[in-house]
Amino acid sequence: MLKEKGDLDLHFLERLSQNIAALISKGKEVILVSSGAIGLGRQELNIRKRSNSISFKQTLASIGQARLMNIYYRLFQQYNLLVGQILLSGVDLSRRSSYLNARNTFLTLLKFKIIPVVNENDTVAVEEIKFGDNDTLSALVAGLVDANLLIIFSDIEGLYTSDPRTNSEAKLIKEVDDIDEKIEKISLSASIEGRVGGMQTKIKAAKIATRSGIPVIIGGGERNFLGRIFAGEERGTLFLPKKDGLTSRKKWIAYAHLLAGTIVVDDGAKRALIVEGKSLLAAGIIEITGNFQVGDSVSLLDMNSEEFARGIVHYSSKELKKIKGTKSSLIEKQLGYKYYDEVVHRDNLVIL
């Protein structure tokens, strides 16, 4: 929504609000994930210099967020539509209770035909709990409300085989049925926009959403992109959803619950988890990093340090360091007590 120099792209926002109003008039429900608060704050204070200071960015976000919502209020007021502000941080989604509360707020706003305008809560977020970009945030919100479609705007038409602005031979990829290593490599070279929200983050977001069973369209760079999509035209790049989409709770475990540490497992444990659908036992654990407690979410790595799963632990890191490599029948002897046979039960485990 901001041009390269930081100026507001009002023409884009006017078209966007018009398209969204048209969709709502046809019975569609729309959630808008919008960036721009920090840029607007900098513009409001007439500050051009950049700074990595968290407090400086939070100050700009505080000022800019008010202006951002005022802009959306005025744009949608033309169509007799109201907007509601939702600011989210990683902590808000990492707690199951607040995750569900956020979902209820979204659904209630939509019930009353109010457009939720979502942004990261930059005024309080610190690096450890930041989503990092609004593309990822949009995918998490889509999963939170079980959206039927996620549309991610880009400054170009979609995902190309390489950057179309530097390679005239680059071709648009119209459909992707699996975001594999090849697609991820393409995203590194195709339209690196030089700022937060480049093609790489959009592919990451598409991966989260499609794993949650939600189709994704990435594209833009043309007039009335949104309107053309809902007129039935093939625009941008379509990412097909996984047929075995995650349940609401497993979406939360995989993507919304903040990771507190890592567990490295041997090949036998990895095979048991992926192929046989079993739980993680202490006997298969090689190494533990981080300081986590019972109920925290951890990343499971194989012996090549590649993440392949995430799950919620039944034992703390301190306890696991004492029982790693130990058979379940000997846990009580090692600790003096035993909570469960499993370190991560399969019901609390998501294979990535």
Contact 349, 273 (CB under 8 A): yes
Of 147, 102, 97, residue with least CA distance to 121: 102
Contact 187, 252 (CB under 8 A): no
Contact 162, 191 (CB under 8 A): no
Q: Cite the residue boundaries of each domain of the chain with CATH code 3.40.1160.10.
A: 10-250
Q: How many residues does the chain have?
A: 352
CB atoms within 10 A of CB 61: 26
Q: Mind listing the pLDDT tens digit for each residue in 164-194?
A: 878 888 899 999 999 988 888 888 766 444 4
Q: CA 331, 335, 341: angle at the middle one, nearest 5?
A: 30
What distance in Å separates the CA atoms of residue 134 and residue 118, rounded to the nearest whole number?
Answer: 9
Q: CA 24, 25, 31: angle at the middle one, nearest 5?
A: 5
Q: Is 344 helix (H, G, I), strand (E, B) or coil?
A: strand
The pLDDT score that the predictor gives to residue 352 is 83
Indicate the residue type of 249: R
What distance in Å separates the CA atoms of residue 259 and residue 27, rounded to the nearest whole number?
Answer: 38
Residue 271 token pair: 């095979």
Class of domain 10-250: alpha beta
Q: Tell me which fold the domain 258-351 belongs to.
A: 2.30.130
The pLDDT score that the predictor gives to residue 50 is 74
Q: What sign results for the dihedral spanned by CA atoms 49, 54, 56, 58?
A: positive
Q: What sign results for the dihedral spanned by CA atoms 205, 207, 212, 216?
A: positive
Distances (CA, A) of 14 to 9, 19, 85, 149, 323: 9, 9, 19, 22, 60
Q: Cite the residue boundaries of each domain of the chain with CATH code 2.30.130.10.
A: 258-351
HSE, CB side, 13 Å, CA atoms: give it for residue 219. Answer: 23
Burial class (CB in 10 A: 0-12, 13-18, 19+), 334: middle
Long-range CB contact pairs, 335-340, < 8 A, 24+: 339/294, 339/314, 339/315, 340/314
What distance in Å separates the CA atoms of residue 133 and residue 116, rounded to the nearest whole number?
Answer: 18
Residue 75 token pair: 């744009």
With a cut of 50, list the residues of the chain below it in pLDDT. 128-129, 191-196
Q: What is the DSSP string of 298-334?
A: EEEE-TTS-EEEEEE-SS-HHHHHHHTT--GGGHHHH
